Amino acid sequence: MTTFADFGLPTPVVRVLAEQGITAPFPIQTATLPDSLRGRDVLGRGRTGSGKTLAFSLPLVARLATDGAARRPRRPRALVLCPTRELANQIDATLAPLAASLGLTTTTVFGGVAQSRQVAALDRGVDVLVACPGRLEDLLSQKLLTLDAVSVTVLDEADHMADLGFLPGVKRIMDKTPRSGQRLLFSATLDNGVDQLVQRYLDKPVQHSVDSAESPVTAMTHHFLEVRDADAKRAVVHELASGTGRRVLFMRTKHQAKKLAKQLTAAGIPAVDLHGNLSQNARERNLEAFSTGGVRVLVATDIAARGIHVDDVELVVHVDPPAEHKAYLHRSGRTARAGAGGDVVTLVLPEQRQDVRSLTRAAKIDARPQQVDHGSAVVRSLVGAVAPTVPHVAHVAPTRPSGGSTTGPRRGGGSAPTTSARRAGSPVATAAPTSEGGDPARRRRRRGGARRRRPAGAQD
């Protein structure tokens, strides 16, 4: 069996992986590491959860540890660009211990929080900068850092950045990095302009496709449950939320997500919400509570369809069916991770039947709709062991996170490649634009930053 030590990685890095229980590499890591460790530009294609974070983190820290360059204020030596602040925090949680084992430092830069701490970290000097495009461009325009010392640039989830409208900003950022640097790009697809990034910024890249768009799905089971009316739907939702394992319930709007989380909590099923109206601290606090098991139910908008990675989610419920199949596939991908199985439930009102039928065809899912009500056998089977009765709780106050990280992988540094036994399609890009959060115009006035046009739908 191949181990991480077989790739010639620095001993301290292999030791950190072993201490975390990470010993056997995932396929995307086995495929890309030989080329990326040799300094080649790499194009890695694979879905979220296939282990891409370690695939680029390991060669990044290995290169910085041996290139002999000194750490200097406001001049990061490596850059990782990603679409959402949740993902930035999770990348940093994986990178930081690897970097620290080699005497390297990391920091994150994203919107929705004050920039003062981010600037202070840059002033102290940082080796690896993990950033979202909006805030990074703000700091560059204020001349608070420069990218001329970057020797390794990583574009993670490039297709999602394209879907959010960040490509123009990504290009402006990439133009400020040295052409001689190594570039690693990871993406599920090459549509929406990602191919332009590959052609413009990667030099003779080696391409590796693992868990590709057409990979068969083996660990995920899809259920389409038809309910007679809104009252029956509400009862089924509460029943599905009452199991003992982690479950994610998806709503279309921020208001509905907040409302359902409060209703479940009041009914004795502690739940937290995750959506774009929450402050960064609240988002991290709620995600930490869900990731560590303090709360079993997460009610989310599409912000969680691609921006978070949490293992051991046994059930995903589309309380509100998404508008199109790409969002459905990304939402569903929160379960059946790290080699585990999982169930996906879509609740269908009579007036939604035709839309859901079209969605399943587009997603290439073959699952027969079932009529259900509260207490139906199929609903009970999906609930599993019912949680003990919990006294009325008016508010859930999860433990404040120490570093914004979530439960990590136990093997290979990422969740296992997942899809469904009954479809041949693949996730590509999330429909809902949710990124770094906040009001760009108000923040520019507050800190005196330069005016700059945002990508359509992006929130900085």
pLDDT digits (tens, 9 = 90+) for 81-104: 999 888 899 899 999 999 999 999
Same-domain check for residues 257 and 170 = no
List the 246-250 sheet strands across, edge first.
271-274, 297-300, 246-250, 313-318, 342-348, 220-226, 370-371
Same-domain check for residues 285 and 366 = yes
Which of 23-27, 232-236, 435-439 reaches the highest mean pLDDT? 232-236
pLDDT > 70 in the chain, percent: 78
Domain annotation covers residue 421:
no
Lowest-confidence range among 73-87, 94-108, 234-248, 441-455? 441-455
Beta bridge partners of 370: 225
For residue 66, name the pLDDT band (cuts at 50, 70, 90). very high
Same-domain check for residues 204 and 329 = no
pLDDT digits (tens, 9 = 90+) for 371-414: 999 999 999 999 873 333 333 333 333 333 333 333 333 444 44
pLDDT digits (tens, 9 = 90+) for 257-271: 999 999 999 999 999
Token readout for 15 is 């030791």
In this prediction, residues 144-154 reach a mean pLDDT of 98
In whole numbers, what is the pLDDT of the chain averaged over residues? 81
Beta bridge partners of 371: 226
Same-domain check for residues 27 and 112 = yes
In this prediction, residues 227-250 reach a mean pLDDT of 94
Distance CA 351, CA 393 (A): 34
At 456 the pLDDT is 40
Length of the chain: 460
| DSSP per residue, 301-336 | -THHHHH---S-EEEEEESS--SSHHHHHHHHTTSS
Which of the listed residues 181, 209, 237 is the one where a domain comes to its end? 209
For residue 451, name the pLDDT band (cuts at 50, 70, 90). very low
Same-domain check for residues 295 and 366 = yes
Residue 218, pLDDT above cutoff 90? no
pLDDT digits (tens, 9 = 90+) for 315-350: 999 999 998 887 888 788 777 665 556 899 999 999
Please give the distance of CA 448 from its chain centroid, rounded to a whole number.
Answer: 31
Same-domain check for residues 153 and 278 = no
Domain annotation covers residue 374:
yes
SS3 131: strand
At 353 the pLDDT is 93
Same-domain check for residues 285 and 306 = yes
Q: What are phi and psi of 18, to 5 degrees?
A: -65, -40
Lowest-confidence range among 48-62, 213-227, 284-298, 393-407? 393-407
Same-domain check for residues 256 and 307 = yes
Question: Which residue in the block uniquely carries the two structure tokens 């302009």?
Answer: 193
- Read off the pTM: 0.66
Domain annotation covers residue 293:
yes
Percent helix / strand / coil, the chain, rounded to 5: 40, 15, 45
For residue 55, name the pLDDT band (cuts at 50, 70, 90). very high
Distance CA 343, CA 351 (A): 24
For residue 48, name the pLDDT band (cuts at 50, 70, 90). low
Which of the listed residues 362, 383, 404 is the one where a domain comes to its end? 383
Same-domain check for residues 228 and 186 = no
Residue range(s) defining the domain that contains residue 171: 4-209
Same-domain check for residues 75 and 146 = yes
For residue 70, name the pLDDT band (cuts at 50, 70, 90). very high
Domain annotation covers residue 41:
yes
Domain annotation covers residue 397:
no
Higher model confidence: residue 397 or residue 66?
A: 66
**DSSP symbol at 180:** T
Which of the listed residues 354, 383, 412 is the one where a domain comes to its end? 383
At 405 the pLDDT is 36
Q: Write the CA distances from 211 to 44, 124, 362, 459, integer angstroms.
A: 10, 40, 19, 30
Amino acid 13 reads V
> 44: domain CATH number?
3.40.50.300
Beta bridge partners of 298: 248, 272
At 286 the pLDDT is 92
Question: Which residue in the block uniquely carries the two structure tokens 């969002």?
Answer: 327
At 49 the pLDDT is 64
In this prediction, residues 150-160 reach a mean pLDDT of 94
Domain annotation covers residue 415:
no
Domain annotation covers residue 64:
yes
Question: 18, 10 in Cβ contact below 8 A?
Answer: no
At 219 the pLDDT is 63
Question: 52, 218 in Cβ contact below 8 A?
Answer: no
For residue 416, name the pLDDT band (cuts at 50, 70, 90). very low
At 305 the pLDDT is 64
Token readout for 62 is 């290995």
Domain annotation covers residue 408:
no
Question: 369, 225 in Cβ contact below 8 A?
Answer: yes
In this prediction, residues 208-231 reach a mean pLDDT of 75
At 188 the pLDDT is 78
Residue 445, pLDDT above cutoff 60? no
Residue 159, pLDDT above cutoff 70? yes
Same-domain check for residues 372 and 323 = yes
At 447 the pLDDT is 40
| DSSP per residue, 154-169 | EEESHHHHHHTT-HHH
Sign of CA dihedral 260, 264, 266, 271: negative
For the chain, the domain total comes to 2
Residue 449, pLDDT above cutoff 70? no
Higher model confidence: residue 423 or residue 272?
A: 272
At 418 the pLDDT is 32
Same-domain check for residues 162 and 13 = yes
Question: 312, 49 in Cβ contact below 8 A?
Answer: no
| Gyration radius (Cα) of the chain, Å | 22
At 120 the pLDDT is 97
At 290 the pLDDT is 92
At 131 the pLDDT is 98
Question: Which residue in the block uniquely carries the two structure tokens 């294609």?
Answer: 45
